[in-house]
Structure formats: C-alpha cells, structure tokens
Amino acid sequence: MKAIRAISTHSFVCILITARLLAEGCPSGHETPEGIACDAVQAYADCDSKAWLKTLIRPIYGKEGDAAYEEFKKYMVKMTDENESKEGFVAPIIVKVFKARNFSMNGPGSMAYAMHGITGNMFVDIVVDVGGRLQILRYHVMQDKDQKWYFEPRPDLASLFAMSLNDEAPSDELLWGLNREGEHDDPDNLVNSSDNPKKKRND
C-alpha cells in the first residue's frame, strides 16, 4: 500500500512539474491582461492558493456581493489546497492564449470606470488541456487604479461590468501557443472561468 501511495504521489508531482514546464514562456504578470489570466490558471494548476489570491481584483460588488466574494475565495482556497493531495486531480496545461479583447458593448467598461475607477475591462480566452481533453476558459480581467491587471472571477456578481461576456464570439487572434500548427482539434466547449476548469459549461 505504501508503495502504491508513493507511486501515486510521484505521478502527481510529475504532472505538476510538466504543467509548469509547458507553461514556460506563457504570458505572465500584472502588466498585461493575458499575463494575469494565465497566472490565475497556472496558480490553480500548481495548487497554489496564495498565488491565485494575488491575481484577484479587489472587492467591487457592493455590500452583499463583497460578502459572497469573500465566501467564494475561502471555498476556492480550500479546494485548491485540497487538490494538492488529491490523487484524482489533473492539472490543466495551458495550450493556447488568445489576445485580450474589449467587450463589443461600451457599457461594461464605462460603468466599471464610473463606479470604481477601473481603467481597463477586457476578457481573455485560454485553451487548456485537462487530461487530453481540450477546453476554452474565458477570463474576465480588469485594470485597476494602480494600472495593474487583475482577474475578476465572479462575473455573476458584477453583471454590469461583464455584460455579454459569454455571448462574445470566440477569439481568433492567437498570442501564444504550444502548438501553432493547429494539430489539436478546435475545442467547442466554452466554460466560464468561475467554473471548475474540469467541468463543461453544458454539463
């Protein structure tokens, strides 16, 4: 039994190391919308709740929304930390990153600026491989007063700032990818970034 556990642990560590190595060269950092979106994905893949929390936008949801946001963060921290020792957890590997896009409607950006001084309001489509299954994650990202970009993980709580998020057409301008030759089939399941990356939106 100890040998089996040791093998399982070794395999899990190898998966995490592989995810990190494959993500090298991927956009990263608060300086760009694509960078912070990728950092959020990678933090989840690395089971690093502290890194994930650092990607998040400050509370912008109003009294009740902010309270729900705090509970959501606690839940995600617990789940992310538990994933580190969960044998069945499969770390998502970033395969493609598309260029950030503005909303087709002017309302979300104008509202975010007027209410909270948010100077940028965009979204980023990221393709991940989860155990051989391709999925698209759509990340809502915002540029705050400090000119840094942050991940906004609860568009359901910020509907005024994310109108039409899930209705926008799929992105087609590639910024970065492990495979620029299109060897993978195009994934057709768009999931929201606030969902578990392993779960289809239409499940």
Closest CA to 16 of 88, 128, 93: 93
Q: Check residue 179 and give its pLDDT.
A: 55
At residue 176, φ and ψ (nearest 5 deg) are -150, 145
Contact 25, 176 (CB under 8 A): yes
Closest CA to 18 of 111, 94, 86: 94
Q: Check residue 181 and give its pLDDT.
A: 47
Domains of the chain: 2-192 (3.10.450.50)
Closest CA to 81 of 39, 48, 41: 48
Give the distance, in angstroms, between the CA of residue 188 and the centroid of all CA atoms in the same chain.
18
At residue 144, φ and ψ (nearest 5 deg) are -90, -175
* DSSP annotation string for 49-101: HHHHHHTBPPP-SHHHHHHHHHHHHHHHHHHHHHHTT-TT----EEEEEEPPE
**3-state SS, residue 110:** helix
Residue 127 β-bridge partners: 96, 136
Closest CA to 38 of 181, 118, 141: 141
Closest CA to 194 of 101, 61, 27, 88: 61
Contact 89, 14 (CB under 8 A): no
Both tokens of residue 147?
Answer: 């000119």
Per residue of the chain (203 residues), give pLDDT as tens.
Answer: 444 343 334 444 444 555 565 667 899 999 999 999 999 999 999 999 999 999 999 999 999 999 999 999 999 999 999 999 999 999 999 999 999 999 999 899 999 999 999 999 999 999 999 999 999 999 999 999 999 999 999 999 999 999 999 999 999 999 999 854 444 444 444 455 654 443 333 33
Q: What is the residue type of 12?
A: F
